Structures are given as C-alpha cells and as structure tokens.
Amino acid sequence: MREPQSLRAQLLSRLTLPLLIVVILDASVSYFVALHYADQAYDSWLLDSAKSLTQEVKAHKDKVTFELPPIAVEVFRWDAMDKTFFKVESEAAGFIAGDKGLPSPVLATMASDEPFFSDGEILGQKVRIVSVLTAPTTDDSDDVLISVAETLNKRRGMMNEILLAVVLPQLLLVLITGFHIWTGINRGLSPLNDLAKLIAQRSARDLNPISDAGVPLEVRSLTHTINALLDRLGANLKTQQRFIENAAHQLRTPLAGLKVQAERALMADNLESMRPALAHIKNSADRVAHLSTQLLVLARSESVSQTAHELKSLDLITLSRACCMDWVPKALERNIELGLDAPTTPVGIAGDETLLRELLSNLLDNAIAYGNPDGHISVQIEPGLEPRLIVEDDGSGIQANEADRIFERFYRIPGSRGEGCGLGLAIVKEIADLHSARIEVGSGPRGRGTRIEISFGVG
C-alpha cells in the first residue's frame, strides 16, 4: 500500500521548491555580475599604476634606465589592505628594477599595445598581475615590460560583501515567503479539519446531511458525495429495518401455530387423537423451515450484490437441466408435465451458479404451485446477444395490476394457495439485478397462464 501523502507537505514543497531554485539562480547571477564589475574596476586601477610607472622608464644612448626615488617607490607601494609589487624588465637587459620574484607573462602571447592581465603567485601569496609594454626609444630596438601586481585582499573583501548583500536579502525573502505559505496552507486546510471533527463527533444513528455552511467550494463536492452516501445508507437502513420487522412477523405466525398445536397434542391421551395436531405441527415446521431458507437465500444474494461479487461464465442449459430434474418429482405430484426447450449448443452467460439455480427454483416452485394441475410447464432457453430464460405455465396467470407488487418482499396475491411466504419473486428480482438481467412478466401460450422472461447481458 502507498504511504498516505500529506497535502500540507506537498503544497509547501511544490510552492517553496521552485521559489528556492529561482532565488538561488537569481543570487548566483547577481553575484557573478557584481563580481565581474568589481574585478574590472580593480583591474583598471592596477593598469593605471602600471601606466604611471611607464613614465619613469628612460633611455640613455640605447641603455634603458628606470629611475624612481625610494620615497616615490614607497608612495607607489602604499596600500592599506594589499601588498603591491612591480617589475621592470626588457628582453635585452633582463631584470631592471622592482621585485625579481614577480612572474612575467610569456611575451609571445602579448599584443604589443594591449595590457595583459594574469593571475600569479609571489612569496606564497596569490596576486593579480597586469603587464604593459612600453618603448622608451623611437627606434624600436627593445621594448620594456612593466608588470604591476597586488594581493587579492581588497577583491576578496569585496567578494564577501557582495555575497552578503546578495544572498542575505534573498534568504530572508525565502524565509518570509515560506512562513506565509505555511500559515496560508494551515488556514486553507482548517475547514477540512473542522469537517473531519464534525463527522467524527456524529453518532452512528445520525444520517442527516452535513451542512454546507462554512465549507469552501472546493470541498463541497466531497460533502455532497458524503451526503449522497448518507442518503443511500439511510434508505438502506430503512429497508433492512422493514425487512427484519416483516421477517419477525412472518416467523411469528407459524411459530404461534406450532405452539397451539403442540399444546393440543399434549392434551390428547392417545396417538390416534394426537395425529391431526402432529400433522399441523409438521406443516408449521415446514413453513418455518421454508421461510428461514428463503430468508437466508435473500441475505446471501444481498451480501453478494454488496461485495462486487465476481461472476463466472457458465452454460445456462446445463444449469437449467439440472435444476429441472430436481423439480420433476414435485411437478409429478400435481401431475404436471415439465419440459425443457433448449438449443443443442451451450448458451454462455456470466453468473453465479448457486444463485441462478435459486432463481430458477423459485420460478419453478411458483409455476408448479400456481400452474394448472394436470397441465404443462415449459422452460425455454433462447440464445442470442441477450440470452433468455423463460418459464411458462398454463395456470391462472397474474393480473397486470399485480405485476409489480409480486416482486415486493412478503407480498402474496390475496387468496394464493400453498404455504408460500411471499419471498420467492423478491429473491428472483434480487438475483436478476445482481446479474444485470431484465425481468418481464406476461401471459403464457394462447393468453393463458404466466410467462416470466429473464434476459441476460452478454456472457
């Protein structure tokens, strides 16, 4: 089973994660742009000082000199945060002045009139170096290379300041937005909690609809569904209650009869005078037994229909033949002929075998009970897209105005013969519904008797 997911956590992560990504992207871009411009500014200051040194390069009869008084060197080197280095050299003369340890750029990679920036190291410290070429004489005999370098303290300080200035406000933004999203979600979800509390507090008997007041629009579909369910539950409960009352009432009658007859039997002093009472007792016991079986069948088909039972594919002919065989002796008791009229190839439908046999048994029971003595009952199976099971008798028939009521539980047409309890056709209907089958009630051949037709869907 999948772990239940928290709506709150989902909303929070879906809203803040993109925000966080955007903020990180934005912070990085602003950081690198700011860094680039700061670097450019420092680089151009470094170039200025290199250019100022080129003024001090002089040429005397082809000999290049670099004259800077010590005090000027001190002024040149002065910087509160960084150390400044310089080096003057030429290809012909080699090192001329400054810091010998400062790395020189590879001359070949330099354009003669462009300053060249590079990163290097001197005395174990990382430095930024700019190198410029200058020609002290008019005949371009020997170019002098002047490099100026400074340590990176100012640049690093600047980097940290920019980082703080960019990242801190963004972080604060994420925190404030996250907090607002969190409280917003909580506030948004609170109607759901209220609703859950309201439902939890209900008694099991309270099936009144949940009020829509205060329920947000988005949650209303849920309350509507719950209310529809409560409605169905209520209707279901009422039917069950009525059914139990009816069943109890129906059982009471034969049981009361049993008691009276038993008392009468007890008063008789010999077996012979006891016989009629015993016969009544057997009759009442039969009725109770029949009634309880019918109640069980009804309960079973109801529970099957409520639990999305799986229907299996089966042959309607085999099933009907077996069932008819069971009823032949009962039919013969009334001298009724029972015939099966079916095609030779199987007729497949999707169904529950036990329940379908129960359905046909109840139809045959009625046909035998209410059919014409010495008459004929025919069970027919018609193949096709909607296979049909038909039971026809030539009895008294059912009046059109009774056609709907006979399917009600415990309903019997007044004056009906036999020991029925009015559950037979209710069971037939329940089982037909379970198979999504249609029932039609009509009259038999030549307008006489009863014809009950059950049409199934495709098997």
Ligand X SMILES: Nc1ncnc2c1ncn2[C@@H]1O[C@H](COP(=O)(O)OP(=O)(O)O)[C@@H](O)[C@H]1O
* List of residues contacting ligand X (CB under 6 A): 362, 366-367, 370, 393, 395-396, 398, 406, 412-413, 416, 420-426, 450
Give whichever of 261 and 366 is closer to Mg ion, judged by the CB atom.
366
CB 258 → Mg ion: shortest distance, Å? 22
User: What DSSP element (H or E) covers 233?
Assistant: helix 217-267
List, in sequence order, every residue forming a beta bridge with 375; answer none if it has no partner: none
Among Mg ion, ligand X, none, residue 395 binds (CB under 5-8 Å by kind): ligand X
CB 395 → ligand X: shortest distance, Å? 5
CB 317 → ligand X: shortest distance, Å? 22
Give the binding range for Mg ion (CB under 5 A) out of 12-20, 104-112, 363-371, 445-453: 363-371
Among Mg ion, ligand X, none, residue 421 binds (CB under 5-8 Å by kind): ligand X
Cβ atoms < 10 Å from Cβ of 381 = 20
Q: Does 422 bind Mg ion (CB under 5 A)?
A: no
Q: Does 424 bind Mg ion (CB under 5 A)?
A: yes
Give whichever of 91 and 337 is closer to ligand X, judged by the CB atom.
337
Give whichever of 96 and 413 is closer to ligand X, judged by the CB atom.
413
**What residue has token string 């009468």?**
264
Long-range CB contacts for residues 241-248, cutoff 8 Å, separation at least 24: 243/409, 246/409, 246/410, 247/291, 247/295
**Rounded CA gap, 349 and 454, in Å?**
12
Closest to 454 in 3D by CA, of 364, 343, 326, 346: 364
Among Mg ion, ligand X, none, residue 413 binds (CB under 5-8 Å by kind): ligand X
DSSP 163-232: HHHHHHHHHHHHHHHHHHHHHHHHHHHHHHHHHHHHHHHS-TT--PPPP-TT--HHHHHHHHHHHHHHHH
Task: List, in order, residues 6 or more apart from 249 with CB less than 8 Å away.
Answer: none
The phi and psi torsions of 74 (rounded to 5 degrees) equal -65, -45
CB 363 → ligand X: shortest distance, Å? 8
**Rounded CA gap, 133 and 107, in Å?**
9
CB 200 → ligand X: shortest distance, Å? 43
**Rounded CA gap, 279 and 262, in Å?**
10
Among ligand X, Mg ion, none, residue 367 binds (CB under 5-8 Å by kind): ligand X
**What residue has token string 């415990």?**
410
Which residues between 401 and 420 bind Mg ion (CB under 5 A)? Answer: 420
Among Mg ion, ligand X, none, residue 416 binds (CB under 5-8 Å by kind): ligand X
User: What DSSP element (H or E) covers 381?
Assistant: strand 376-382
Give whichever of 390 and 391 is closer to Mg ion, judged by the CB atom.
391
Give whichever of 254 and 420 is closer to Mg ion, judged by the CB atom.
420
Among Mg ion, ligand X, none, residue 351 binds (CB under 5-8 Å by kind): none
CB 367 → ligand X: shortest distance, Å? 5
Q: Which residues bind Mg ion (CB under 5 A)?
A: 366, 420, 424
